[in-house]
Amino acid sequence: MSHRVALAGNPNTGKSTLFNLLTGLRQHTGNWPGKTVVRAEGELRTDNHTFQIIDLPGTYSLYSNSADEEVARDYIIFEKPDITLVVVDATSLERNLNLALQVLEMTKNVIVCVNLIDEARRKGITVDKKELSRRLGVPVVLLSAREKIGVIQLMKTMDQMVDGKISTDPYLIPYEEEVEKKIEEMEPRIKEIFGDSMPSRWLALRLLDGDKNLLQALKTYIRDPQSVEIKHEPAQGGCCHGA
């Protein structure tokens, strides 16, 4: 069975270059159901596994509710990829980590790919991979997709992750006391409804944020349990929640 890998990242981080590098010509494109957003997916074979790679739209965030961001958010939350690769730009980490931190709140199976490392070096920027990995609580791989640097390391890390050889402990942003208290109150009730199928802390935060768009997506998800079941059939080309 192939493992599903989602590629997330800001625009212009070389996400598509990495996608092309990983999948070569074994890819096809179409649209996300009901949305004018391009969906590209392809296949990657490593030493031990076959991966189905899904290129999510490039976004700065997953909360602003543009069609692009909805697609990316829904995929990570409802389709639950086996691995999410977050591609970040080594030359502007501060901006890029916004999205990375959002993804870390949503799923444990994350690998942070620090791309454009060659360009960063030219600008005199060095990225402390070990420290970044320690602070984020997930594996970090330094890459230059354009120069084909770091790809083997990335594939090794992906293999190890699906083999269960890597345990992650994603960094979760601590919020103000008032917010944390509310999260604490809400989490048990969210767990009652969704069990472990949803990241309860993340969901509590979205509810506190009054994210109506997400509520709508959730309703569709709850109403249509079919969409939950089909998700795990490998034959399915992958689609949105009950769209």
Partner 1 sequence: MESKPIYQFHKGDRLEITSVQVEGVMRRRLLDLGFVRGAVIDVVQKSPLGDPIAFRVFNTSIALRREESSLIHAVKMEEDSEVKVQ
Candidates 13, 62, 1, 55; CA nearest to 32 is 55
User: Shortest approach of partner 1 to residue 206 CB, angstroms?
Assistant: 12
User: Shortest approach of partner 1 to residue 186 CB, angstroms?
Assistant: 20
Token reading at 165: 């050889």
Instruction: Using the structure block, give the residue that is written with the tokens 């944390």.
Output: 180
Candidates 8, 7, 36, 76; CA nearest to 214 is 76
Residue (65 or 168) nearer to partner 1, CB: 65
Residue (29 or 64) nearer to partner 1, CB: 64
Token reading at 243: 């769209």
User: Shortest approach of partner 1 to residue 125 CB, angstroms?
Assistant: 9
- Which stretches of the chain are DSSP H helices? 15-23, 67-74, 93-106, 117-122, 129-136, 151-162, 177-194, 200-208, 212-223, 225-230
User: Shortest approach of partner 1 to residue 120 CB, angstroms?
Assistant: 12
**Footprint on this chain of partner 1 (rule: CB under 8 A):** 60-61, 63-65, 91-92, 94-95, 98
Residue (91 or 144) nearer to partner 1, CB: 91
Residue (64 or 197) nearer to partner 1, CB: 64
